[in-house]
Chains A and B, each alone.
Chain A
Amino acid sequence: GENVEQHPSTLSVQEGDSAVIKCTYSDSASNYFPWYKQELGKGPQLIIDIRSNVGEKKDQRIAVTLNKTAKHFSLHITETQPEDSAVYFCAAVNNAGNMLTFGGGTRLMVKP
C-alpha cells in the first residue's frame, strides 16, 4: 500500500519567515495530494491540494509543489504569522483512488 513520509516533525520559525514541509510517497500511481491543518482541539481542515497534472499551486501565502518523478511534494508558507502555528499533515491517495494515506504530521510553531 501507499506510504507517506513527512519531515520535519517539528518546525520553529520566526514570524515573517518562510516555512517548508516536505513529504515523500511510495506509490507512483498516486495522483492527488492534499494538505490539512489541525489547530489545537480541532479536527484537520483542508488548506490546499494539488493534482498530478500540475507542478505548483498557490493560494495567497501558501503554495504546494509536486515532483512526480522524485515522488515528493512540499508545502511552502511565506510571511508566517502566529496563527499559522498548528500541526500540518500531507496526504496521498492510494492506488485504488479511494482513500487517503496521511504523513506523520509537522508541528509548526511561529514565534512572534
Chain B
Amino acid sequence: GAGVSQSPSNKVTEKGKDVELRCDPISGHTALYWYRQRLGQGLEFLIYFQGNSAPDKSGLPSDRFSAERTGESVSTLTIQRTQQEDSAVYLCASSWGGGEEKLFFGSGTQLSVL
C-alpha cells in the first residue's frame, strides 16, 4: 500500500483481556515507532525499532505492554490483561530511518477497554 496501515481501526475489549494491534509500515522504511494518544492529549512514545538494532523500549508503561517487529516489516503491539486506563488511540509511524527523517503515521487503532 501507499501508506502506513494499522488494524483494526477500532477495538473494543473487556478489562483483563489481551489485545494485539498490527502495523504495516511503508515498504523499505527501516524505522518504526508506536505512540499512544489519550483523548485530547499529546503523543506518548512507547517503542522504537530501527533495522536490526535492539528496540528502544523506554516508553513502554508497564510489563503488560510488548511489541515485536519481523525484520523491516510488520509490527505488532500486544497489551496483556488490559485495563481501562489503556483506552486510547495507538498510532504507528514509519520512516526511512533516524530521527531526522519524515515520519509517516497510520490512522491509528482506537482501543476501548470496558
Contacts and interface: CB of A to CB of B under 8 A. Distances in A.
Interface of A: 6, 31-32, 34, 36, 41-46, 49, 51, 89, 93-94, 96-105, 107
Interface stretch (B11-19, B62-70, B94-102): B94-102
Q: Which of A6, A36, A103 has the most CB of B within 10 A?
A: A36
Contacts of A44: 43, 91, 103, 105
Contact of A97 (B41, B100, B107, B108): B100
Contacts, number: 60
Contacts of A36: 103, 105
* Chain B: interface size category: 20 to 34
A105 B45 CA distance: 14
B4 interface: yes
Contacts of A46: 102-103
A49 B108 CA distance: 23
A20 to B, nearest CB: 19
Given A32-B100, A99-B48, A42 B41 contact: no
Given A43-B105, A43-B106, A43-B108, A97 B99 contact: yes
A8 to B, nearest CB: 13
A46 B100 CA distance: 12
B56 interface: yes
A98 B103 contact: no
